[in-house]
Amino acid sequence: MNAVEQSVRASNGTCEAGPAELAEPPRARRSIEARLIERLLSHLGNPPIEFLLWNGERVSSSGAAMAHQLRIADRATLFTLFTDSQLGFGDAYSEGRISVEGDLVDFLETVYKSAPRKEASPSLLRRLVNRRRAPRANTLTGSRDNIHRHYDIGNDFYSLWLGRTMSYTCAYYPTAPTTLDEAQVAKMHHVCRKVQLQPGQSVVEAGCGWGSLGLHMARHYGVKVRAFNISHEQIVYARERAQAEGLSSQVEYVEDDYRNISGRYDAFVSVGMLEHVGLENYPDLGRIVNRCLPRHGRGLIHSIGRNYPAPLHAWIERRIFPGAYAPSIAEMMQIFEPWDLSVLDVENLRLHYARTLRHWLERYEAASERVKSMFDEKFVRMWRLYLAGSVAAFTMGTLQLFQVVFAPRDNNEIPLTRAHLYQG
Amino acid sequence: MNAVEQSVRASNGTCEAGPAELAEPPRARRSIEARLIERLLSHLGNPPIEFLLWNGERVSSSGAAMAHQLRIADRATLFTLFTDSQLGFGDAYSEGRISVEGDLVDFLETVYKSAPRKEASPSLLRRLVNRRRAPRANTLTGSRDNIHRHYDIGNDFYSLWLGRTMSYTCAYYPTAPTTLDEAQVAKMHHVCRKVQLQPGQSVVEAGCGWGSLGLHMARHYGVKVRAFNISHEQIVYARERAQAEGLSSQVEYVEDDYRNISGRYDAFVSVGMLEHVGLENYPDLGRIVNRCLPRHGRGLIHSIGRNYPAPLHAWIERRIFPGAYAPSIAEMMQIFEPWDLSVLDVENLRLHYARTLRHWLERYEAASERVKSMFDEKFVRMWRLYLAGSVAAFTMGTLQLFQVVFAPRDNNEIPLTRAHLYQG
C-alpha cells in the first residue's frame, strides 16, 4: 500500500481517530483526483468499485480494495467523467482509455445497484438537464437518418450475434432454459396470440426489422402482412427472405415511414419501433393506428420503457441509437388516450430482455474477432459496452420492456381471459 | 298518427319535397319540444330512440317509430334534460318522471353505442365543464363522509344482491357460464396469484369492503392480513365474519384511512378503493405503497378506469358515489412513477364487470320488493338506474376495469411469465 492509498483509506470509515491521524489530518494528504473521485462515487450512491489511476493510485469510497475495478489511463480521461459522465465514460471505454477489470456486466450491475433512488420531484436543475438532453428530432427525414445510422451498418454484422431469426427485439422465455432462437420464436407466437390472428386476416406492421415477424405470422397464422420499415438494408434482406421462403405473395415489405401507412387491417403490430418514434409523435402514431383499425381490430405495441420519464443514457442516444427514447407507461398512453383506444393488457418483459441481451452478448463476444475485422477495436468495445450496459439496465430495472395490447373502445370480440396465451 | 306526429316525421328524411310540403313548410308545424329533442338526439349521435311526451307527441331523430322509448311525464322534466342532461335524467328517472319502455340496459346501451367518438383535443368549453365537475374532495374527513354515504346504507341491503361473498367489486369469469359466487372466488384467487402470496407472508389491504378478500387470503394462502377501511358498517361486518370463521388471529380489520397505514408487508393489495382516493392523492398513495414494500414486495391495485381522463357521470358522482373518480391508465401512473415502482402487468377486465353487474342487477330486480320495503320506490329506481347504467357503460367501453400489478424497481423475484395465473 503506497502513501496515497494510505491517505485515501485513512480518510474514510474511521470512527475513532488515533493520535497519528490527529497530528496529520488525512484530507491534506489526498490528491485532488482522489477527492474528486470520492465525490463522484458519493453521487453514484457509493458503489463498491475501485478506481485504478494511471499513477498507481487506488480510490474507492470505503477506502478498501474492491472486486470491481475501473482502470483510468490518464488525467484527461478522468476529468471527462466529471464534465459529462455518461458520454465521457462511454467514449473513453470505447477508445480503451477506460477499462474494467473482470466481468463488464457485473461491474455495471454493481454501479446500477447502488444508484440513489429516484427523486420524487426532480429538481429544477435535473429537469433542465433532461430538457437539454432531448433526443434528435424524428421528422420524416430525421428518422430516416437516425435509423440509417444504426440499422444499416451491415446485415453481416448483425447476423453474427442475433441468431437464426434475426429478431433484434426482446425475446420471450417461457422457461429459463429456452435458447435464444426458441425464445425469439416464442416471442412471435406470444405477439400473434395477443392480437388473436385468424387465417385470412390482414396485418399491418410498423417497423419490421429484418422481417422475421411478418414471415412468422404468414407461415403460422395464415395472414396477409404489409410491413413498413425505413431501413433500406433491412427491407432488402426481408424481401429476399420472403422470396426464398415462398411467402412473397403473403408478406409485402414496404420501404416507407409508418406515417404513410394507409388502408384498414384486422391487426396492427409494432415490435421495437416506438423507441424511434419520438414522444412528440405519439398522438400522430395513435391517429394512424386508429385509422387502420375497424371496430373488431386490435393492436400491439412492444417497446423499451421506463418506470418514469427520463432521457435515454446520453452515450446510448448519441453513439448507438440517435433519436431514441424509452417512454414511461403514462407517456405511452399519449398514443391511445386521444383516440379512445382501450388498453387491454400491458406485460412487462424486463427480465426477458436481460436474458435476450445476455444471449446476444455471448454470441457477440464469440464473434468479436470477426467484428474487429469488419470494423475496428473501438467499434468492438463500443458495442460491447452497449450490450453489457443494456443487460445491466434491464437486470437492475432502470429499463423496462412493455408489450401493450389495445383495441377500439367498442370491440367486444376480445377474449374474456388471457388463458389462450398460455395453452400449448 | 296524429297531426303532431305527422309534422315531426315530415320534417326528417325527406330528400324530395312534394308540393304539399312546399306550400306548408314542415318546420313551422313542429313543436318547440320536438325541435329541442331533435337537437338533443343529434348531440347524442342520433341514437335510435323515441321520446313519448306527456301530450302524446312522439319524437325520434329519423322520425320513425323506435323499439327503444323514453316516456317523459311533463314539460319541466323535459327541460331539465337540456339544462343538466346527466343529473336531470338520473333524478327524473329515479322519481318516475322519466320511464323507459322495455329493457333498461338495452335502452342505455343503445344510447351509449351512438355516442360520438371522443374529441381528440377537447374544446375549451368541454375542459371548463369537466373542471367544474371535479368530484367532492377526499380529505381525511371528506373521504369518511363520502364513504359513509354509499357503503353504510345497510349491510342487509347489499346482502340482497351481492351474493355469498359480499364482494362489491368486479368478479373474474374464467369461462362464460361461471356463476357470480364462483366468479368472485375466482377473482380473489386471481388477485392472490398475481401478488404471489406464500404461506407466512404478510399483506396489507387498503379498502377491504366487507372483508372477503382478507379472509380468502388467510384461509387459502396462509398469510397474515391487516385490512383498512373507513366504512364502520363494513368493518363491523368483516370482524364478525372473521370471528365466525375462526380467522381473527390471522386477519385484522382496522377502521382507519389508508393514509394511516404503517409497517412493512410482503404485499399490498387494494381492490376497488382507488375510485375513492381522488386524483390529487395518487402520489401520496404511491408514497404509502412504496413505504410498505420491501425490495421483494409486490402490489396490486384494482380500479374502475377510463380510456382517457373524464369526470364520472355527474348523476353517479352526485347521487351514488360522492367523491368518486375513474382514472385513465396514465392518471393511475401518478401513483407509481414518482416512486420508481415498476408496473409488471395491467389487465383490463371490462367485460367481466359487465357480467358481474348483470348478475347483481338480476338479483337486485328479484329483491326489488324487499328493497322498496327497506327504502322507497325512488331508491329502487335510483339503484336500478345505477346498476343498469353501469352494465351499459362497461359493455360499451365507456368504463374500463384495470388490475395493475407492480413491484419495487429491483425486485427480481418476480415470475418470468404469467402462466402461473392460468394453471389449475
pLDDT in tens, B113-160: 988 776 656 566 666 656 556 677 788 888 888 777 787 788 999 999
Q: Is residue A134 part of a domain?
A: no
d(CA B324, CA A259): 39
What part of B 71-130 touches A (C-beta under 8 Å)? 113, 117-118, 120-121
Domain assignment of residue B20, given as a range: 3-114
The answer to whether A186 faces chain B, any CB pair under 8 Å, is no
- Same domain assignment for residues A149 and A109: no
The cell for A30 is 489526498
The angle that helices A32-43 and A75-83 make with each other, rounded to 10 degrees, is: 40
Q: Which of B32, B31, B7 is nearest to B21 (CA)?
A: B7
- pLDDT category of residue B3 using cuts at 50, 70 and 90: very low
d(CA A196, CA A330): 25
As beta bridge partners, residue B298 has B267
Note the pLDDT of residue A30: 81
According to DSSP, the β-strands at A224-229 and A251-255 are parallel
d(CA B127, CA B8): 35
Q: Within a 10 A sphere around the Cβ of A344, how many other Cβ atoms? A: 23
Note the pLDDT of residue B216: 98
d(CA A129, CA A112): 20
For residue A247, which phi and psi values (nearest 5 degrees)? -115, 15
CB contact under 8 A, B418 and A417: no
In the three-class reduction of DSSP (H, G, I as helix; E, B as strand; rest coil), residue B374 is classed as helix
For residue A270, which phi and psi values (nearest 5 degrees)? -150, 110
d(CA A106, CA A265): 45
According to DSSP, the β-strands at A400-408 and A341-348 are antiparallel
CB contact under 8 A, A339 and B397: no
Is pLDDT at B16 greater than 70 in this prediction? no
- Same domain assignment for residues B240 and B280: yes
pLDDT, one tens digit for every residue, chain A (424 residues): 333 333 333 333 333 334 444 444 454 478 999 999 999 999 999 999 999 999 999 999 888 889 899 999 999 999 999 888 899 999 999 999 999 999 999 999 999 998 877 665 656 666 665 655 667 778 888 888 877 778 778 899 999 999 999 999 999 999 989 999 999 999 999 999 999 999 999 999 999 999 999 999 999 999 999 999 999 999 999 999 999 999 999 999 999 999 999 999 999 999 999 999 999 999 999 999 999 999 999 999 999 999 999 999 999 999 998 889 999 999 999 999 999 999 999 999 999 999 999 999 999 999 999 999 999 999 999 999 999 999 999 999 999 999 999 999 999 999 999 999 998 6
Residue A280 belongs to what H/E stretch?
none
| CA dihedral of A13, A16, A20, A22, whole degrees rounded to 10 | 100
What part of B 282-311 touches A (C-beta under 8 Å)? 283, 287, 307-309
Q: Which of A218, A187, A220, A193 is nearest to A203 (CA)?
A: A218
Note the pLDDT of residue A12: 39
pLDDT cut 70: percent of chain B above it: 89
CB contact under 8 A, A120 and B283: yes
d(CA A275, CA A278): 7
Q: Is residue B132 part of a domain?
A: no
Mean pLDDT over each residue of chain B, to the nearest integer: 90
Number of residues that this document lists for chain B: 424
Q: Output the CA–CA distances (angstroms, integers) from residue B422 to B165, B189, B417, in the order listed.
A: 22, 11, 11
Residue A292's Cβ-side half-sphere holds a number of Cα atoms within 13 Å equal to 30
Mutate to test the interface with A, among B110, B172, B189, B329 (most CBs of A within 10 A): B329
Residue range B8-31: average pLDDT? 46
Q: Is residue A45 part of a domain?
A: yes
Domain final residue pick, B67, B99, B114: B114
CB contact under 8 A, B307 and A342: yes
d(CA B343, CA B299): 9
Q: Is residue B390 part of a domain?
A: yes
For B74-105, the pLDDT digits (tens) are 999 999 998 888 999 999 999 999 999 999 99
Q: Which of B56, B65, B24, B60 is nearest to B40 (CA)?
A: B60
Buried b (16+ CB within 10 A) or exposed e, B200-213: ebbbbbbbbbbbbb
- Same domain assignment for residues B89 and B146: no
- Same domain assignment for residues B401 and B256: yes
Q: Is residue A65 part of a domain?
A: yes
- Same domain assignment for residues B211 and B283: yes
The C-alpha cell 434528435 sits at A136
The answer to whether A378 faces chain B, any CB pair under 8 Å, is no
- Same domain assignment for residues A333 and A372: yes
Q: Output the CA–CA distances (angstroms, integers) from residue A137 to A128, A145, A153, A259, A324, in the order listed.
A: 18, 10, 21, 15, 9
Mean pLDDT over each residue of chain A, to the nearest integer: 90
- Same domain assignment for residues A207 and A325: yes
Task: Kindly list the residues from chain B whose CB atom is less than 8 angstroms away from the CB atom of residue A397.
Answer: 342, 409-412
Q: Which amino acid is at A235?
A: I
In the three-class reduction of DSSP (H, G, I as helix; E, B as strand; rest coil), residue A302 is classed as strand
Determine the distance in angstroms separating the CA of B344 from the nearest CA of chain A, rounded to an integer.
Answer: 5
Question: Does residue B259 contact residue B289 with C-beta atoms inside 8 Å?
Answer: no
Note the pLDDT of residue A9: 37
Provide the ipTM: 0.91
CATH of the domain at A233: 3.40.50.150
Note the pLDDT of residue A150: 81
Note the pLDDT of residue B120: 58
- Same domain assignment for residues A145 and A110: no
- Same domain assignment for residues A325 and A399: yes
Question: Does residue A323 contact residue A136 with C-beta atoms inside 8 Å?
Answer: yes
- B337 vs A328, A334, A416: nearest CB: A328
Note the pLDDT of residue B127: 61
Q: Within a 10 A sphere around the Cβ of A408, how many other Cβ atoms? A: 21
Is pLDDT at B406 greater than 70 in this prediction? yes
Q: Is residue A46 part of a domain?
A: yes
The answer to whether A174 faces chain B, any CB pair under 8 Å, is yes
- B333 vs A118, A172, A328: nearest CB: A328
For B167-208, the pLDDT digits (tens) are 999 999 999 899 999 999 999 999 999 999 999 999 999 999
Instruction: For residue A419, give the chain B residue with the closest CA.
Output: B422
In the three-class reduction of DSSP (H, G, I as helix; E, B as strand; rest coil), residue A207 is classed as coil
Note the pLDDT of residue B4: 34
The answer to whether A279 faces chain B, any CB pair under 8 Å, is no
Question: Does residue B414 contact residue B344 with C-beta atoms inside 8 Å?
Answer: yes
- Same domain assignment for residues B257 and B405: yes
Please count the structural domains in chain B.
Answer: 2
Note the pLDDT of residue B128: 60
- Same domain assignment for residues A22 and A164: no
As beta bridge partners, residue A52 has A58, A71
CATH of the domain at B89: 3.30.1050
Note the pLDDT of residue A129: 59
Q: Is residue A127 part of a domain?
A: no
Domain final residue pick, A63, A97, A114: A114
Note the pLDDT of residue A133: 65
The helix, strand and coil proportions of chain B, stated in percent and rounded to the nearest 5, come to 50, 15, 35
Q: Is residue B318 part of a domain?
A: yes
- Same domain assignment for residues A382 and A241: yes
